[in-house]
Amino acid sequence: MSVADLKTEAVSILRTNDRGGYTVPTARLYPYQWNWDSGFTALGWATFDEARAWREIERLFEGQWTDGLVPHIIFHQESSDYFPGPDVWQTSKHDPATSGISQPPVVATMVRKLLEASPDPDGVAERVRALYPKMLAYHRWWWQARDPEDTGLVVILHPWESGMDNSPAWDGALTRVPPPRRTDYVRRDTSHVDAAERPRAADYDRYISLVEGFVERGYEAGRLYRETPFRVADISINAILLRATEDLAILAERFGTGAERAELAGRIALMRQAIADCWSPGRHLFQSVDRVSGERIDHVTSAGFLPLYAGVPTEAQAAEMAAEMARWGEGGFLVPTVPHWEASFDSKRYWRGPVWAVVNFMLADGLARCGQPALSARIRADTRVLIERAGFAEYFDPRDGSGRGGGTFSWTAAVGLAWALE
């Protein structure tokens, strides 16, 4: 297919996945609005329908809680295609119903991009003015609920919050999670996608058990933070939050107060130093920290390269990371979630091997930012070849380039439109 045809197909995917101001990631497998999916998807909409891009973000904030949390799923309408739905999450205080955890906070970065790409920045200023305090409340929720001790690193309390659900980095911490009380649940994802491309049953048991624990504690933020058995300072979410805070600080120059600008500058400095301390010299990347055991999580996954996206590495570290990443791509496509020589590598299974277009988008941005334009260009070229060969799949096998997971996927289409096929 020509690039023009691919772009036409990408536009048609977003239109088909549109449910009225928000976009489902793909039909059936993910029938609601997902937090970080919507951020990337808005960039795709902006390439041909800017007003619709803004709606995507506005509809996401319809799910925001009064404490600032922007949930990972907004259940705008009912569906029997997905598990666990609102009856399991039981966060009934909110309308529309939502899940009770969050996801990587890319949204402020995307709002800045939308504003800067707008042909009519003054015309959209009112929309940004309305979104700004909501984004600030969301970032403050991360700091207050998930870093109450002001360490500079926020924690996730569920693998779903990382967006990288079955990353091998979570295997150790998940062993502390007891089996679920409810054992009769029926997964729906494996009726839409080959089970070999999804998390294993043992992972799902733990995912459900953690949700049961949240419900039992009434979603009380302090109790969740202190009592949940899975508490991890995820390197990827921290890099994404830092980057989004830098972008929010730029928006604050026009839409915020002096006190807010000072607050954001303070947070940026604190986070930057804390992420810098997660450098793992022998591994050539940064690593997450298990806050329950207090130990560094010694796994190598592509998440460890994301501090590039927040401009954290020194020049020498960035060069070392680029060399390491290039090694991961030998004989295959960049950037696998796990390099093929690791015991945990599984080329088809979700976040244990496959290439994800949105991760490539962030890593290429980070490499360019940190003085590594050649590898940045290679990642973009690989992403484009994967899309040309396999279409807008949810993720791709890094060895043979085949498409895996859901098809006609919104964020892959969006990243194609906004970047890879540009």
Q: Which residues are known catalytic residues? A: 165, 394
- Contact call for residues 251 and 132 (beta carbons, < 8 A): yes
Give the type of residue at 187. Answer: R
Helices 107-117 and 35-46, packing angle to 10 deg: 10
Closest CB to ligand DGY among 104 and 152? 104
x/- track of binding to ligand DGY for residues 176-205 (CB under 6 A): -------------x----------------
Closest CB to ligand DGY among 207 and 286? 207
> Which two structure tokens, joined as six digits, stand for 257?
């107060």
Q: Which residue from 40, 45, 75, 160 is in contact with ligand DGY, where contact means CB under 6 A?
A: 160
How many residues of this chain interact with ligand DGY, rule: CB under 6 A? 4
- Residue 386: C-alpha distances to residues 70, 138, 392, 399, 406 (Å): 32, 34, 9, 11, 15
Closest CB to ligand DGY among 142 and 160? 160
| 72 touches ligand DGY by CB under 6 A | yes
CA torsion, ordered 210, 216, 220, 225, to nearest 10 deg: -40
The DSSP annotation for 232-255 comes to EE-HHHHHHHHHHHHHHHHHHHHH
* Sequence-ordered alpha helix ranges (H) in 168-301: 171-174, 189-192, 201-216, 221-227, 235-255, 258-276
x/- track of binding to ligand DGY for residues 75-94 (CB under 6 A): --------------------
| 206 touches ligand DGY by CB under 6 A | no
**What proportions of the chain, in percent to the nearest 5, are helix, strand and coil?**
55, 5, 40
- Residue 175: C-alpha distances to residues 23, 90, 172, 210, 215 (Å): 35, 25, 6, 12, 20
CB of 308 to ligand DGY, least distance (A): 24
| 22 touches ligand DGY by CB under 6 A | no
Closest CB to ligand DGY among 24 and 318? 24
With CB atoms as reference, the residue minimizing the distance to ligand DGY is: 160
CB of 157 to ligand DGY, least distance (A): 14
CB of 252 to ligand DGY, least distance (A): 30
Closest CB to ligand DGY among 72 and 404? 72
CB of 383 to ligand DGY, least distance (A): 21
Longest pairwise C-alpha distance within the chain: 54
Which spans of this chain sit near ligand DGY (rule: CB under 6 A)? Answer: 72, 160, 165, 189
